[in-house]
Amino acid sequence: MVTSVEVSPAPSTTILRPAKFTGKVALSSLPAESDPVASLPADIPLDTLKVIRPSVKETSSSSSEDDEADDLVGKEANGEKVTRNGDSDTLVLGKNFHDLCLTITEPDFDDDVTGEKDAYMAGVLARYRKKLVERTKFHLGYPYNLDFEYGALTQLQHFSINNLGDPFIESNYGVHSRQFEVGVLDWFARLWDIEKNEYWGYITNCGTEGNLHGILVGREVFPDGVLYASKDSHYSVFKAARIYRMDVVKVDTLLSGEIDCKDLKQKLSERADKPAILNVNIGTTVKGAVDDLDLVLETLSEAGFKEDRFYIHCDGALFGLMMPFVKKAPKVSFKKPIGSVSVSGHKFVGCPMPCGVQITRMEHISVLSKNVEYLASRDATIMGSRNGHAPIFLWYTLNRKGYQGFQKEVQRCLRNAHYLKECLRAAGFGVMLNELSSTVVFERPQEESFVLKWQLACQGKIAHAVVMPNVTVEKINKFVKELIESRQRCFSDGKVPCIVEEVGPENCACEEHRGIQHTDRNNDH
């Protein structure tokens, strides 16, 4: 652990050395008004954070690891090439897994005797496991916390646990985990300020199911409602509109990725005759921007929409669990007139399989549910059979970490994200980090092999890295070093691509905007 970071406008430095953390980007403590987190201690002292400036030199110490990783990418690149047009906006879908798939073969008549089949499968699985270890090690692009330990739950892996139907109503199928599921839901209900007898919810299969559910509830409450969502919303929001045959209005965003409430107001006013169903992003997918819920509510009011004329779904896939622990963030709370909140379970919490938490108001569920006697249950979920293992994973982690544990992790992630941003900026990259976000946006690397190795999610000219609890300072250092090397191979003349349209002039590092960036950065310190 190092203790501070110094941010200087110089591009890449040449030696790894401790640096001074100015404290200007200090993270906030918890909001006092939030019940479950009110009693938590303040921030971790900043001086517990040690930061090392990245360097293109002094790389020998980790070269063996590098080789291993390069080998891996090399192997993948041979067999699993993605045909893609570099950094342009279009994408050629060429990859077909038929060529690579593990074909299932009929067992030989004497397999039981020879053990050939078992040996073959053991070999496949061992190689696959090795690949997973490596792919997990080099991962920065998706907001998945890959750092979890569920050894205590291995004993449950051979049961067919299925929470089919409604979590609150017993089905006749006895091999379920509803008692864990409801425990998890209660924990989130408390986090988002809604009483036990006033909420309904369930553990979903993923963030998309949460959005599909929230928007469906909105549509059932307002069958002729128009869906409003910023253009930076997750693609599942627009998928929902198409599936549900709803009118959808795409709202502009600010450069940060936040919804542009001026545009929202105008578009609401143009359709004031119809109720509004709004998707509010608590962390957009690409830029990690948090829509200002309070401003959205104000905008609705200004456009003449009373509370009985709108429904708000909060897509909190990633940040829904982080924001409650950050003081300045717009608070997601059912004390405000929102209809539903969803969050992913495999993202900040970490879980071997995708899952999510969906919470809505009990009063909305009657419009969606329908008695289905076959299950001895009501039908208010989107899926029927539901994975009963996921709630146990979540229950286990929430119990172990508690609100306090999550607070610490959120603070560490935000700090490390800030560190990553400063490292990239210092190295002369165009880079943007929304305040209180852990998603660092930067120019898209030109080398496809680098993108694949670090599993970066890209959009147009930009890529992002999401700093999750499993992303350590060491990993960041390694990443930055390799990114610098990669760029040097592509831009030997030192030219930097312009990403001003994506991140704004103060964050762009191209020749034209570098001055603006410098000014801004100098202002920072």
Task: State the catalytic residues.
Answer: 437
Question: For residues 187-206, which are near a second copy according to CB under 8 A?
Answer: 187, 196-197, 205-206
- Residues in region 40-59 near a second copy by CB under 8 A: none
The closest alpha carbon to 281, from 302, 295, 301, 262, belongs to: 295
Can you tell me which of 10, 26, 38, 372 binds a second copy, judged by CB under 8 A? Answer: 372
Name residues contacting a second copy, limited to 151-190 (CB under 8 A): 151-162, 164, 167-170, 172-175, 177-184, 186-187
Q: What is the CA radius of gyration of the chain?
A: 24
Chain-centre distance of CA 460, in angstroms?
19
**Judged by CB under 8 A, which stretch of 25-33, 297-305, 364-372, 429-437 contacts a second copy?**
364-372
Q: Which of residues 21-40 bind a second copy (CB under 8 A)?
A: none
Q: Which of 193, 209, 422, 443: binder of a second copy (CB under 8 A)? A: 209
Give the Cα separation of 488 and 93 in Å (integer).
29
Name which of 465 and 473 has its Cβ closer to a second copy.
Answer: 465
Cβ-based nearer residue to a second copy, 301 or 366: 366
| Residue 24 CB, nearest approach to a second copy (Å) | 31
Segment near a second copy (CB under 8 A); pick from 145-153, 320-328, 480-488, 490-498: 145-153
Q: Name which of residues 224 to 263 contact a second copy (CB under 8 A).
A: 234-236, 239, 243-245
Shortest distance in whole angstroms from residue 222 CB to a second copy = 14
Looking at residues 280 to 299 of the shown chain, list those that interact with a second copy (rule: CB under 8 A).
285-286
- Judged by CB, which is closer to a second copy: 206, or 323? 206
CB 478 within 8 A of CB 398: no
Contacts of a second copy in 70-129 (CB under 8 A): 76, 80, 82, 84, 89, 91, 93, 95-98, 100-107, 117, 121-122, 125, 128-129
Q: 16, 46, 56, 146: which one contacts a second copy (CB under 8 A)?
A: 146
- Give the helix/strand (H/E) hosting 80: none
Binding to a second copy (CB under 8 A) within 417-456 occurs at 451-452, 455-456
CB contact at 8 A, 339 and 296: no
Do β-strands 248-251 and 226-230 pair in parallel, antiparallel, or remain unpaired?
A: parallel
Q: What is the DSSP string of 376-390?
A: TEE--SSSSS-BSHH
Residue 371 is encoded by which pair of tokens?
A: 């008695």
- C-alpha 188: how far from its chain's center? 17
Interatomic CA distance for residues 271 and 176, integer angstroms: 46
Task: Check residue 303 and report its DSSP letter.
Answer: T
Query: For residues 294-353, which are near a second copy according to CB under 8 A?
Result: 344, 346, 350-353
459 binds a second copy (CB under 8 A): yes
In the window 377-396, what residues touch a second copy (CB under 8 A)? 377-379, 382-390, 395-396
Considering only 11, 44, 46, 135, the residue that binds a second copy (CB under 8 A) is: 135
First and final C-alpha spacing in the chain: 23
Beginning with the edge strand found earlier in the chain, give each strand of the sheet holding 439-443 in spatial order.
431-433, 439-443, 462-466, 457-459
Q: How far is the CB of 464 from a second copy (least distance, A)?
A: 10
Of 220, 239, 221, nearest to 229 by C-alpha is 239
Residues 122 and 375: their CA atoms lie apart, in Å, by 39
**Torsions phi, psi of 360, nearest 5?**
-140, 180
Residues 472-501 that bind a second copy (CB under 8 A): none
Nearer to a second copy, 128 or 491 (CB): 128
Minimum gap (Å) between residue 64 Cβ and a second copy: 20
Select 10 or 100, whichever has its Cβ closest to a second copy. 100
Residue-wise burial string across 501-515, b where 16 or more C-beta atoms lie within 10 A, e elsewhere: ebbbbbbbbbeebbe
CA distance 126 to 131: 9
We find the least distance from the C-beta atom of residue 452 to a second copy, in angstroms, to be 7
In whole angstroms, what is the distance from residue 406 CA to residue 325 CA? 8
CB of 86 to a second copy, least distance (A): 13
